[in-house]
Each structure stands twice: as structure tokens, then as C-alpha cells.
Amino acid sequence: MSKIERVEVFVASPGRTFVTLRITTSDGVTGLGDATLNGRELAVASYLRDHVAPLLIGRDPARIEDMWQFLYKGAYWRRGPVTMTAIAAVDTALWDIKGKTAGLPVYQLLGGRSRDGVLVYSHASGTDIPSLLDDVERCLELGYQAVRAQAAVPDVGGTYGVRKGKVYEPAATELPDEQPWDTEAYLGFAPAYLEAVRERFGFGFHLLHDVHHRLTPIEAARFGKSVEGCRLFWMEDPTPAENQESFRLIRRHTTTPVAVGEVMNSIWDLQHLITEQLIDYVRTTVVHAGGITHLRRIFDIAALYQVRTGSHGATDLSPVSMAAAVHVDIAVPNFGIQEYMGHPDETAEVFRTGVTFANGMLYPSEEPGLGVEYDEKVAERFPYRRRYLPVARRLDGSVHDW
């Protein structure tokens, strides 16, 4: 019987920082998992090296569910982003191994295709309305059928979501970039630029917008009401989700669909949002919600309540996570959309992935497993660099919600 023989953790910064787990069996089969937790990468790397790896040696790699329960329940201290990201890396690597052993792509092990391709959305942004419109046009010309639109609020020093280079990368500084935030200015400006997008390009594509947790519930309700004419695919993270009851207030005032979940780590964090139908899309992802095993569990309960999937897919998810997400997306019955930002060229030097993009959709690799390879020798050229997401501050200087 095959046993887990070697567990390796790699930390590298090819374009951005990734933590990659590689498990090797006594049969010589390898599996990859993503263990990246943006801004707290070394915490997960240590959790894996110091606490998880010694527990895996000698165990049967085929017992994925048993391994998940062992790592989750056996630690006593449950949930949280560090624990769930570490478990996700192990779980994803074991699914990769199982697919290779079976000679099948992972999505076939999840029940096969429910659709031909995975609808994705791109990110368009601008420093003002004209530059945003130009960027939306760029996305549409690339074939995207769905576009997220963000623009910098005039006379406010910085707005999250605005691309500054070829690839949108918010975690770009070794210390957090402290950016000013003005809620009233945002509430006055954002509806105007979303309306401008619809006026110029019409309704022949899906339009999305990320509020990024920065409004109170009643402010979010006001915003959702004000953009109903834009027919948004969703408004994302309108208010911090720790207070799940707050979404009931938003629901009372607007029909704009709501997407939440990228900072949630478990089915228990999302239970009431889903079962009380307070959201329309759940944005949890493979790497931060316990891997393929637990993500599928979240999506299954969401399907019962007509909540669709819309997994997070920013550049802080490595190509391993993106591949795993696409395998899940292609299989689940309640798929909605997948975020897709791509990666810088340096990332492609370290990771090879069989995921392909065409006509606004992603398609999984047909290779056994996830179809991803990691080159640790090339990764050595990109030593670890500390990078953090920006921090928002109100105009009075106090720290604002994300």
C-alpha cells in the first residue's frame, strides 16, 4: 500500500509570494497544494512544516476525508485562516495524487462535467471615468463576458481595486500602504461610473463591482438601491460579514445581488448567510476554506438554497489554487462565476498549469490530477519578499473596515 513518504513546503515570490506544498508518496507520485495566506504566508508555512508535515509521514494518501477530519479535529484549535489554509494545501495535494493514481483529471473524480466551460470575470479599473471605460473596452476585446469595474474616487488619495501596472496587484509594498477613504465621496461617485459603463457598452455583458467591506449595512443598502438600473451581476462584500444579521437589512432595501465569502474559512462561518438566503453568491475558495473537500461541502449546502458559487480568484491564489478551483467549478451544479486575474510572467516561470482561457471561459486540464507542475529550482530565483495589502483610513485618521 502506498504511503506518504515526503512533505515539502516551498516559499517563493515569483511576481508575488506563494506557499506551495508538495507531497510525495512511496510510489513516487507527487501532489501539489497551495498554502498562500496573503500577508501571513510564513505563519502557514510554519504550521505546515512544524506541526502538519510530521503527522503525514507514513499515512495512506488515498484517505482524503479521513485526513481532513484528522487535521481539523485533531488540532483541537479549529478553524481560522491559518489552520484552514494549511488543511487546504494538504487536501488539494491529496486530490492531485488521487487523480494521478486513477489516471483521471480531478473534476472526473468529483462527478464529471456539469458544463463545458467556466465563466470568468476580469478586472477593469481607472484613475477616472474615461480611463475606466478604456479598460472595460480592453477586457471586452479580450473576450471577457463579465467585467468588474472600479475607479479612483476624485480627490481621495487612493481607492482599492485600481490597477497601477500591467497586472492588478494590491499587495505591492513591504509595509501596508495606508490609503485614505471617504464613504460619502465613494457613494456619490461609484454609481456614476457604473452608469457610464452601461451607457457606453450596454447590457450585453455582466457588470460586477467590489465594495470591499467598506460600508455600513444601511450605506450598503443605499448603494445597492442606487445602482439597480445598472443591473449588476453582484455587489461584492458590501459590509463586513462578521455580523451576518446585517445582510438582512440590505436585503430589505435593494434587489442588487450580493456576493460574500472570500474571507470566510468554513461552512460554519457562512451557515446563516446561506440558509437564510441573505446572499446570492458565495465567494469562498479552495485555498482558504479547507481545500476541495470542504469547499465542495460549502457549495453543496449553498445549492440547497439557490445560492451560486463565485470563488475568489485574485493573484494571491497560486496557479495550483486556480487549477483546483476550475476543476470544482466545472463539476458543481450551482456554479455562478469565477474570478480570474491572471498572474505576472514570473509566476508562469515557476508554475505550469494546464488551465486554458478562451471566449471568456476557463477550461481545466485533461491531464491526470490537477495538471499543475512546480519548478522549485526556478523558484529559488525568487526569494521571499514580505508584502501586505493596503490599509484604509478614514479622513479623521482612524482605521477603516476592509
The catalytic residue positions are: 160, 212
- Give the cell for residue 290: 479547507
Task: Give the CA angle between residues 191, 193, 199 to the nearest 5°.
Answer: 100
Q: What's the alpha-carbon Rg for the chain, to the nearest Å?
A: 21
- State the first-to-last Cα distance of the chain, in angstroms, to the nearest integer: 48
Grid cell 449553498 is found at 302
User: Cβ distance 312 to 341 under 8 Å?
Assistant: no
* Cα-based distances in Å from 153 to 170, 215, 230, 393: 17, 15, 19, 14
Residues sharing a CB contact under 8 Å with residue 360, sequence separation 6 or more, in sequence order:
119, 120, 143, 144, 145, 146
- Give the cell for residue 124: 477593469
The candidate with the shortest Cα–Cα distance to 297, out of 65, 44, 23, 52, is 65
Residues sharing a CB contact under 8 Å with residue 397, sequence separation 6 or more, in sequence order:
none
* Cα-based distances in Å from 330 to 33, 111, 336: 19, 10, 10
- Give the cell for residue 199: 451607457
Q: For residues 282 and 254, what is the distance between their CA atoms, to the nearest angstrom? A: 18
Which regions of 187-283 does DSSP assign to beta strands (E)? 206-210, 234-236, 258-260, 281-282
How far is Cα of residue 276 from the mean position of the Cα atoms in its chain? Answer: 23
* Amino acid in the structure at residue 173: T
Q: Is 156 exposed, middle or buried (0-12, 13-18, 19+ CB in 10 A)?
A: middle
- Give the cell for residue 24: 510525495
Beta bridge partners of 308: 281
**Beta strand pairing call for 361-363 and 281-282:** unpaired
Beta bridge partners of 210: 236
